[in-house]
Amino acid sequence: MAENGYLLELKDVSRHFGGLVAVDGISYGVRKGEVRGIIGPNGAGKTTLFNVITGELKPTAGRIYLKGEDITGLPAHIICEKGMSRTFQLTFIFPEMTVFECVWVGVYSRARRPWDLFFSRTDPSGPIAEKAQRIIHTVGLEEKTHEMASNLSYGDQKVLEIAMALSTDPVILLLDEPTQGVGPGEVDTIINLVERLSKEMSIVLIEHDMDIVARLCHNVTVLSFGKMIAEGTCEAVSRNEEVQRIYLGEKIVCS
């Protein structure tokens, strides 16, 4: 853990695309056990920020620290090994694999040893499989363990994605709009799941729906044109004038 108590810390991180500044000098910290929301209008740079944090994009400027360790510019798979996991805005699963296999591959990623890569059997029992089963149970997909991922409903696919993100033993989980496009019944399932997970790990959540943010998050950050324009409790943020101006016409209420 870093001396200042941050699990994940961004210092003045920027990302440019040619002349376009997608992420503009953001400093941000997440402590252990925190659930943080990120909101902002479309094109505010929320997903780009995730891409920069998780190593898909290299920041143009600034440093990123995970558990006090500088991870700026490391490749994505190394950052994942260090305990960061993410989901994607559009579902990102392995369509032609079963639910079990999808999660199994993730668990194996942390458990792999060079000598069993080529010739060991992928037993349905054994510690890796057991852990995969446990994760599937946690997210509530146990009845669909052997379904093809592509045959799942959209909401279940979103849940599967969270299960896959969990499979690599993250200390911090980045969720990019986990409820987007999901039917009302399934939204509750996902919210409850995230709520349960928040007891075990830090979570950063991109979300459009303020109700969900208010229910889940201790703390909200508002992005606009790549800049951080407000940070604080949900209530404080929704009273912020600049935030209201951005969301003009949309009602922001914290229930």
Partner 1 sequence: MPEWAITVLFLLMNGLIWGLIIALIALGLTLIFGVMGIVNMAHGDLYMLGAVLAFYLLPVSGSFWIALIAVPLITAVIAGPVERFILRPYEGHPAVTMIATVGISFILQQIALATYGGIPKKIADPVDFSFTVLGVSYPGYRLLVAAIAILIIVGIYLFLYRTNYGILIRASIQDRQMASAMGINVSSVLVTTFIIGSVLAAIAGVLAAPISQVFYLMGNDVGLLSFIVVIVGGLGSLGGTLIAALTLCSLEGVLASVLSPTQAKAAIFVVMIFVLMVRPRGLFGEREG
Partner 2 sequence: MQRERVYRYFALGFLVLLAVLGLVLPTGARSLMIQIMIFGIFAMGYDVCLGYTAQCSLGHSLFFGSGAYACVLSVMHLKAGLLTALAISVGTGFVLAALLGPICVRLSEAYFVIVTAIIAAVFHLLAMDLVWLTGGDDGLCFSIPSLKLGFGDLSLYKPLANYYFVLFFMALTYFVLARILHAPLGKIFVAIRENPKRALFLGYNVTRYKLIAFVVSGMVAALAGGLYALTLRYCSADYMGFYWSVLPVVWCLIGGQGTLVGSWIGVALMSLFQYYVSAWFTYYLLLFGVLVLIILSVSRKGILGYIASRVR
Under the binding rule (CB under 8 A), the answer on residue 176 touching partner 2 is no
Residue among 160, 104, 105 nearest 131 (CA): 104
Binding site for partner 1 (CB under 8 A): 56-58
Residues binding partner 2: number (CB under 8 A): 37
Q: Which is nearer to partner 1, 56 or 147 (CB)?
A: 56
Smallest separation, CB 15 to partner 1 (Å): 10
Q: Is the dihedral of CA 22, 213, 27, 56 positive or negative?
A: negative
Q: Which of residues 93-122 bind partner 2 (CB under 8 A)?
A: 93-98, 101-102, 104-106, 108-110, 112, 116-122
Taking the complex as a whole, the smallest distance from the CB of residue 45 to partner 1 amounts, in Å, to 15
Given the rule CB under 8 A, which of 15-23, 163-171, 193-201, 204-212 is the region that contacts partner 2? 163-171
Structure-block tokens of residue 216: 């889940």
DSSP 90-155: S----TTSBHHHHHHHHHHHHH--HHHHHH----SSSHHHHHHHHHHHHHT-GGGTTSBGGGS-HH
* Three-class DSSP category at 238: helix
Question: How far is it, in rounded angstroms, from Cα 230 to Cα 245?
Answer: 12
Query: Least separation, in Å, of the C-beta of 169 and partner 2?
Result: 10
155 contacts 182 by C-beta, under 8 angstroms: yes
Return the residues of window 44-63 that contact partner 2 according to CB under 8 A: 54, 56
Q: List residues near partner 2 by CB under 8 A.
A: 54, 56, 75-77, 80-81, 85-86, 88, 92-98, 101-102, 104-106, 108-110, 112, 116-122, 146, 164, 167-168
